[in-house]
Amino acid sequence: MDPESFRAAGHRIVDILADYLGSIEEFVVLPQLEPGSIAPEFAAVAPEEPEAIEAILADYRALIEPNANHWSHPGFMAWFPSANAAPGVLGEFLTAGIGQNTFLWQTSPVGTELEIVVVGWLREALGLPEVFDGFLTDTASTSSLIALGAAREAAGLDASARGLAARSDVAAPRVYASVQAHSSIDKAAMTLGIGRANVVHIPVDESFRMRADALTAAIEHDRSVGHRPIAIVAARALRVPRSR
In this prediction, residue 155 carries a pLDDT of 93
| pTM of the entire predicted model | 0.74
In this prediction, residue 84 carries a pLDDT of 81
Tens digits of pLDDT across the chain (244 residues) = 999 999 999 999 999 999 999 999 999 999 999 999 999 999 999 989 999 999 999 999 999 999 999 999 999 988 877 778 889 899 999 999 999 998 899 999 999 999 999 999 999 999 999 999 999 998 889 999 999 999 999 999 999 899 887 788 888 899 999 999 989 999 999 999 999 999 999 999 998 899 999 999 999 999 999 999 999 998 754 444 444 3
Tell me 52's DSSP state.
Answer: P
Evaluated on CA atoms 226, 227, 229, 233, the torsion sign reads negative
Query: Per-residue pLDDT tens for 206-226?
Result: 988 999 999 999 999 999 999
Distance CA 172, CA 197 (A): 10
Query: Per-residue pLDDT tens for 143-173?
Result: 999 999 999 999 999 998 998 877 888 888 9
Which architecture characterizes domain 140-233 according to CATH? 3-Layer(aba) Sandwich (3.40)
At residue 86's C-alpha, the angle toward residues 61 and 120, to 5°, is: 140
In this prediction, residue 121 carries a pLDDT of 97
In CATH terms, the fold of domain 3-98 is: dopa decarboxylase, N-terminal domain (1.20.1340)
Name every residue whose Cβ is closer than 8 Å to that of residue 42 and which is 6 or more positions away in sequence: 63
DSSP three-state, residue 231: strand
In this prediction, residue 236 carries a pLDDT of 52
- Among residues 188, 174, 183, 181, which one has the least CA distance to residue 219? 174
Distance CA 219, CA 232 (A): 10
DSSP three-state, residue 105: coil
Query: Per-residue pLDDT tens for 192-205?
Result: 999 999 999 999 99
Distance CA 210, CA 207 (A): 9
CATH 3.40.640.10 domain locations along the chain: 140-233
CATH 1.20.1340.10 domain locations along the chain: 3-98
